Chains A and B, each alone.
Chain A
């Protein structure tokens, strides 16, 4: 069905795809497995015409093809569902499918599409109301729209880029059913993921990539998680982090009945209450967009609380300024590293004193103490292993892992009492991920309270002492991590409230 041969794609400084070959057959689910940055998405973007390879050949159904744009890809029967959906949110489902489609009438193009959609929905078990507006749909439903969009355009090869990252476990199961259905209809499905369990569950064959190269392709029936992990990472992986026993101390953060609005002015937090003690990690699990971002912003002073109280280390800091809250000992590892966590154009040195620049030792009166800044930068660059040619290098030239090390170095070096970490390892390689998790555990062991927000359930399970699950701006329940079952957390992520609330 599809052959990609010797694909090479370089970006300045990196070889994203180094002579990669891939073969996918009709009627198979083919997993493309690898760490973040292994080159999976680059390869698929080439196949979908978003990038052009430097060299290499692509064959569809035995014929050599040149794919210059997504339009070409679609013409060759290739469809792609991106990790971040490309839908027009105020439009209806049918309108989204009709967008850019050739051969639709000028007047009310969505009408024609609606009929076809109904039929496709039934055939593949993808129930969606064609007249619903996209913004009203859940992530799982939006994903179905994306799949339908591809199918409607006659996709025989469907690429799914990390399709489960935005889904609850239940929605994931639904998705897998659809994929099996498509397989039976003779489609080829390419499934990009870095989650081993999903590969074993749904894929027929798997191609493992590491650092831009293919490590190997093999049937899932002939392998297991352990050996796949070894192929993926290139060494044995520790699945369990070594972590001492939790010794909770006094309250580092108390959140009481917190209410706040989202950017769009609709309630994002609806009565959230919980406590984080010193020396413990409280993980906040949940599907993206259920109020986690707003929660972090309200706690760190970046968003106003409408109601409720936030008490940090015994002080009421509700609706105080971000500076005041940071000065009170709250470290914040932000979700958007490049947009918020660093000032890309400024030097590493300058970035390391952000939030502390206005206080001694880095400032005296109106003047910056540049010598103290140099000394501090030199010390933490070494301590936190930030790989850089010089402290004067602009932060934007650092790799993702080093940018996150920079942020952690800055946030953790001031002896905080509370660390608020949002998606701290998102998009990082294994080495950096492991190191950053260790750093968070070290903080906890030294008596700091840690609030960890992450969409990666494995991370939440591995790091947290207790787990709170958020759904539509509310806490569905808080469970102790040692007793937590993944099914139970999955149900709470889907909006089912935990029966007996555990006293926190």
Chain B
């Protein structure tokens, strides 16, 4: 317990759900506030900015569909990251795993010759596998050689980004694309169906929601999930209980990387219908998914909500660019602000702030860090 002026700070050992939600909302509000200052600095009235964003996203069918479209990759990557974070595996590599999925799907779509109805399932299968492979390499390195997972997963992103660049400039460069760095357009059988008048490739959305439900079941009701939770909560206890770290880490990264891979399949098969520059395929979904997962605080179900929220932010970014004529990168600033505040307010969850009873408020040394 500590005293700061007229307040008393008490440590709280297990924050309740209400506290977690309250503090998270507080962080987002703080980020919105700082964003308002940035808008003002750009000469845009913040009220006007937020009103415009609200109208063009939540206020129209097109806007709502754009939110959903952005939600899909965030949800898939986010659910995967929730699983990894539960095991304290700091997978920063969803971006690369997503691109790996996109590459695999492109390979299958353009070069496998698999007949029509089987083509899309094969693409999803290959995408999951490719993402998983990209994910288990850091898992091996972590468990076998104790290489830091943050660094390896992050670096694997760059490797995959350059592989994609090389493919579209080199061997997979589409002959019909007149020198642009794209692959050829996929055959129609490799296009995902979309909701009418939108770019929402709904099969991927269904897979995402199913993945969230399945992940929740795995974490709470299976042996594997139990072991993931033990490893994540206490390495000492996991060792004591004889839990095999390699097996758990591999399983976690197969799921985490695989789901990100599916997101990559969805992007190329549902939206672009070809492989193109990495920044166009993903726009940083794999990184934003880190915040999605962090906000979900270990719950795959909550990731549905948080990915919708960040879907909204991405859609807002489009509005910021097209309607408000500010650079799209402002979305990145916004993402960064939210993550910054989320991490910043974390200690608040573990401290209860109370006002002292009236009589004692100003006794002793007020203002300093207590007496």
Contacts and interface: CB of A to CB of B under 8 A. Distances in A.
Interface residues on A, range: 35 or more
B224 interface: yes
A343 B234 contact: yes
A326 B242 contact: yes
Contact of A367 (B222, B230, B244, B371): B222
B13 interface: yes
18 contacts: A12-B11, A321-B244, A322-B242, A324-B242, A326-B241, A340-B234, A341-B237, A342-B234, A344-B234, A346-B229, A353-B226, A354-B230, A354-B237, A355-B240, A355-B242, A357-B223, A358-B223, A366-B223
Closest 7 CB pairs of A and B: A323-B242, A322-B242, A339-B236, A340-B240, A340-B236, A345-B233, A343-B233
Nearest to A320: B242
A326 B239 CA distance: 12
Nearest to B239: A302
Nearest to B224: A366
A334 interface: yes
A349 to B, nearest CB: 11
B240 A346 contact: no
Given A345-B233, A346-B230, 6 more contacts: A321-B242, A334-B240, A339-B237, A343-B234, A343-B237, A366-B223
Contacts of A54: 1
B222 A339 contact: no
Contacts of B234: 339-340, 342-345
B237 A368 contact: no
Contacts of B1: 10-12, 54
B370 interface: yes
B352 to A, nearest CB: 9
Contacts of A83: none
A396 interface: yes
Contacts of B243: 323
Interface in A298-350: 300-302, 321-326, 332, 334, 336, 339-346, 350
A344 B242 contact: no
A341 B240 contact: yes
Given A10-B1, A368-B222, A397 B239 contact: no
Contacts of A172: none
B233 A366 contact: no
Interface of B: 1, 10-14, 221-227, 229-230, 233-234, 236-237, 239-244, 370-371
Given A343-B237, A344-B234, A370 B10 contact: no
Interface string A351-369: 0011101100001001110
A52 interface: yes
A169 interface: no
A326 to B, nearest CB: 6
Max chain B C-beta neighbours (<10 A), residue from A322, A325, A350, A397 = A322
Interface in A45-94: 52, 54
B252 to A, nearest CB: 15
Given A322-B241, A340-B237, A340-B239, A350 B13 contact: no
A394 interface: yes
Contacts of A332: 240
Contacts of A346: 229-230, 233
Contacts of B221: 367-368, 370
B256 to A, nearest CB: 18
A396 B350 CA distance: 14
A359 B370 CA distance: 53
Contacts of A10: 1
B12 to A, nearest CB: 8
B226 A357 contact: yes
A336 B222 contact: no
Contact of A396 (B11, B14, B230): B14
Contacts of B233: 343-346
A433 B8 CA distance: 35
Nearest to A332: B240
Contacts of A325: 242
Contacts of B242: 301, 321-326, 355
Given A52-B371, A326-B242, A340-B240, A363 B14 contact: no
A12 B371 CA distance: 17
Contacts of A357: 223, 226-227
A10 to B, nearest CB: 7
Given A11-B1, A346-B230, A397 B13 contact: yes
A397 B222 contact: no
Interface string A235-276: 000000000000000000000000000000000000000000
A366 B222 contact: yes
Contacts of A368: 221-223, 225-226
Contacts of A334: 240
A323 B244 CA distance: 9
B229 A350 contact: yes
Contacts of A326: 241-242
B223 A355 contact: no
A52 B11 CA distance: 16
A404 to B, nearest CB: 15
Nearest to A396: B13
Nearest to A354: B241
B223 A363 contact: yes
B14 A322 contact: no
A497 B229 CA distance: 47
A466 to B, nearest CB: 27
A323 B241 contact: yes
